[in-house]
């Protein structure tokens, strides 16, 4: 099975969120199952600062984008020990920028940047030759790939018989642009209609991917159900339910080498489930030093690591901080970056409760590992969550997740009740409605359980033994690829 993974970010090259974790690890897991996998992503400025050996391939071509035809230069990187060829599409004008997608505002030319990338990816698949079985696209940035494969490259031997799979990591980001950007795609205006590329007079790249892909997947079974109705489908629920036969939910795995408390270079004292207390204590000493404190706090450490955006339930965290920080029953550590208004409100909470609420603004991979290692409890109170990886990392690091019952959080966390404690399935604390009272109650239950040392130790050992490695999920992707290859392509009209 020859698979081309096409994504806008992947670790260790460039990352803004969980998408990069998935596109970094899934190709390796598929290769482990015998697939011949390559990955293509844009050559952002930051990919050159990771100490990786990146070489030119000599492949370069112009990509028609409206009236222009910018040059795509193809670079290649193969990491030591990896079987994956990673191709990087270089064009400095489009990709050599301080951040991937923009700051508090998206870059004004994001349509051009990802139309260019999607077309370059299909062109590259052709130039690399041979025959591809699967073009695996991730999120709106690659939404045009299935359309290009069917409408422009149908006669190219390398991709003609390939099938396209569109994986949705988040329905809230669809790649919506004004209708004139249709001109940049090079596709006929007749596809700009409400059943294909148009969404209320705008060009919708994710919709295009969903319409033209041969198979659609998303990153958990519960989210696959949620997006077939409002509000989960974010306006595309009708389309998604009309394609429900082609839609699968496959829960994400995690990279158990990168996220391993027993070998993690970002933590001071690696640990396993037998010496978790010693490992966590050392991590807390190191974290205290990062926070400018002489000694760690002895209260339960409640962590939040994530993008500070509406999706993640930051307002619930803010409300609960107001209620609980006053009681001093826990120490809160928040690592995140995003919406400046959330950052300001969290700064205010930290200033109101010094020593009880600590905020670290920024995106820092090493610090994310350290915080998970130091934490007793990790909050994931999301409004919606396609899969979520932080609750899986938390489990592996022996931090008990407190999550809202939505999307992948439903599929990966089992609430602690007398029954689930008895049958040994409890892995966290779950609340239903999106309200601060729910979070407050679930977190209070967690803090109470933390005070019961034998119970907590049992819970921590149990969550650390959960297997969230990619094995099972990669096999599901492989089965999806095999099924898709064996069926007829999605019709174009
Ligand atoms: P999403 O992709 O919606 O942001 P996930 O839970 O799937 O949510 O993945 C988030 C990823 O981003 C995790 O690897 C998490 O550790 C990382 N992350 C989020 N915020 C930060 C931050 N401020 N610093 C470092 N890593 C972060
Ligand atoms: C998205 C989702 C997150 C998911 C990640 C990787 O960013 O918000 O829930 O885990 O993609 O699939």
pLDDT computed for residue 395 by the predictor? 98
**DSSP character for 16?**
S
Residue located nearest, by CA, to atom 13 of ligand 1: 18
Ligand nearest to the Cα of 170, by number:
2
Residue 307 alpha carbon, nearest atom of ligand 1: 20
Residue located nearest, by CA, to atom 2 of ligand 1: 18
Strands 85-90 and 71-77: antiparallel
Whether the ω angle into residue 12 lies within 30 degrees of 0, i.e. cis, is yes
Task: Locate 196 and state its tokens.
Answer: 């294909």
Mutation to probe ligand 2, out of 7, 387, 401 (largest number of atoms < 8 A from CB): 387
Give the strand order in the sheet containing 202-204.
176-178, 202-204, 198-199
450 Cα–ligand 1 center, Å: 25
Ligand nearest to the Cα of 372, by number:
1
Do 169 and 311 form a contact (C-beta atoms < 8 A)? no
The verdict on pTM exceeding 0.95 is: yes
d(Cα 215, Cα 367) in Å, to the nearest integer? Answer: 37
The answer to whether the CB of 335 is under 6 A from ligand 1 is: yes
Do 85 and 76 form a contact (C-beta atoms < 8 A)? yes
In this structure, the residues whose C-beta lies within 6 A of any atom of ligand 2 are 17-19, 22, 169-170, 219, 252, 385-389, 408
Residues 6+ apart with CB under 8 A from 341: none
Homologous superfamily of 2-253+472-486: Glycogen Phosphorylase B; (3.40.50.2000)
Q: Which residues of 357-387 are buried (b: 16+ CB within 10 A; e: fewer)?
A: bbbbbeebeebbbbbbbbbbbbbbbbbbbbb
Query: How big is the chain by its Cα radius of gyration, in Å?
Result: 23
Do 448 and 456 form a contact (C-beta atoms < 8 A)? no
Handedness of CA 201, 207, 213, 214 (dihedral sign): negative
208 Cα–ligand 2 center, Å: 20
Domain 2-253+472-486 and domain 276-467, same fold? Reply is yes
The answer to whether the CB of 394 is under 6 A from ligand 1 is: no
Q: Which of 169, 171, 132, 146 is nearest to 250 (CA)?
A: 169
Residue located nearest, by CA, to atom 14 of ligand 1: 18
18 Cα–ligand 2 center, Å: 5
Q: What is the CATH number of domain 276-467?
A: 3.40.50.2000
Q: Which residues of the chain have pLDDT under 70?
A: none
Task: Locate 126 and state its tokens.
Answer: 């052709």
Q: Which of 115, 156, 162 is nearest to 136 (CA)?
A: 162
Domain ranges of the chain: 2-253+472-486, 276-467
Mutation to probe ligand 1, out of 22, 254, 390 (largest number of atoms < 8 A from CB): 390
252 Cα–ligand 2 center, Å: 9
Quickly count: other Cβ atoms within 10 Å of residue 214's Cβ: 22
pLDDT computed for residue 228 by the predictor? 98
């Amino acid at each position: 099975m020859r698979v081309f993974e096409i994504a806008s970010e992947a670790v260790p090259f460039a990352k803004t969120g969980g998408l990069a974790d998935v596109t970094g690890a899934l190709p390796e897991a598929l290769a482990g199952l015998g697939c011949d996998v390559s990955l293509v992503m844009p050559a952002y400025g930051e990919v050159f600062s990771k100490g990786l050996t990146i070489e030119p391939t000599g492949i370069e071509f112009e990509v028609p984008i409206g009236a222009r035809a910018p040059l795509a230069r193809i670079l290649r990187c193969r990491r030591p020990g990896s079987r994956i060829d990673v191709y990087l599409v270089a064009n400095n004008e489009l990709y050599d920028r301080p951040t991937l997608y923009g700051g508090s505002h998206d870059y004004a030319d994001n349509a051009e940047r990802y139309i260019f990338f999607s077309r370059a990816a299909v062109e590259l698949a052709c130039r690399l030759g041979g025959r591809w079985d699967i073009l695996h696209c991730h999120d709106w940035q690659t939404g045009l790939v299935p359309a290009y494969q069917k409408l422009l490259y149908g006669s190219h031997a390398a991709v003609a018989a390939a099938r396209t799979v569109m994986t949705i990591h988040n329905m809230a980001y669809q790649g919506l642009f004004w209708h004139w950007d249709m001109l940049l795609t090079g596709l006929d205006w007749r596809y700009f209609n409400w059943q294909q590329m148009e969404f209320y007079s705008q060009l919708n790249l994710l919709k295009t991917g969903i319409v033209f892909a041969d198979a659609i997947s998303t990153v958990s079974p519960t989210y696959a159900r949620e997006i077939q109705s409002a509000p989960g489908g974010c306006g595309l629920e009708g389309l998604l339910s009309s394609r429900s036969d082609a839609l699968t939910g496959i829960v994400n795995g995690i990279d158990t080498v990168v996220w391993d408390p027993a070998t993690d270079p970002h933590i001071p004292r690696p640990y396993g489930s037998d010496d978790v207390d010693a490992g966590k204590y050392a991590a807390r000493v190191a974290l205290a030093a990062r926070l400018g404190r002489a000694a760690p706090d002895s209260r339960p450490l409640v962590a939040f690591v994530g993008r500070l955006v509406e999706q993640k339930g930051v307002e619930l965290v803010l409300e609960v901080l107001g209620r609980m920080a006053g009681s001093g029953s826990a120490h809160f550590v928040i690592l995140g970056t995003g919406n400046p208004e959330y950052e300001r409100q969290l700064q205010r909470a930290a200033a109101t409760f010094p020593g009880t609420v600590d905020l670290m603004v920024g995106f820092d991979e090493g610090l994310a590992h350290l915080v998970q290692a130091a934490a007793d409890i990790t909050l994931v109170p999301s409004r919606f969550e396609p899969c979520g990886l932080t609750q899986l990392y938390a489990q592996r690091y022996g931090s008990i997740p407190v999550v809202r019952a939505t999307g992948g959080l439903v599929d990966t966390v089992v609430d602690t009740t007398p029954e689930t404690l008895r049958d040994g399935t409890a892995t966290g604390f779950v609340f239903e409605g999106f309200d601060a009272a729910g979070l407050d109650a679930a977190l209070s239950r967690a803090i109470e359980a933390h005070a019961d040392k034998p119970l907590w130790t049992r819970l921590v050992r149990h969550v650390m033994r959960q297997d969230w490695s990619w094995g099972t999920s990669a096999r599901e992707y492989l089965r999806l690829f095999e099924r898709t290859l064996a069926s007829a392509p999605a019709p174009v009209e």
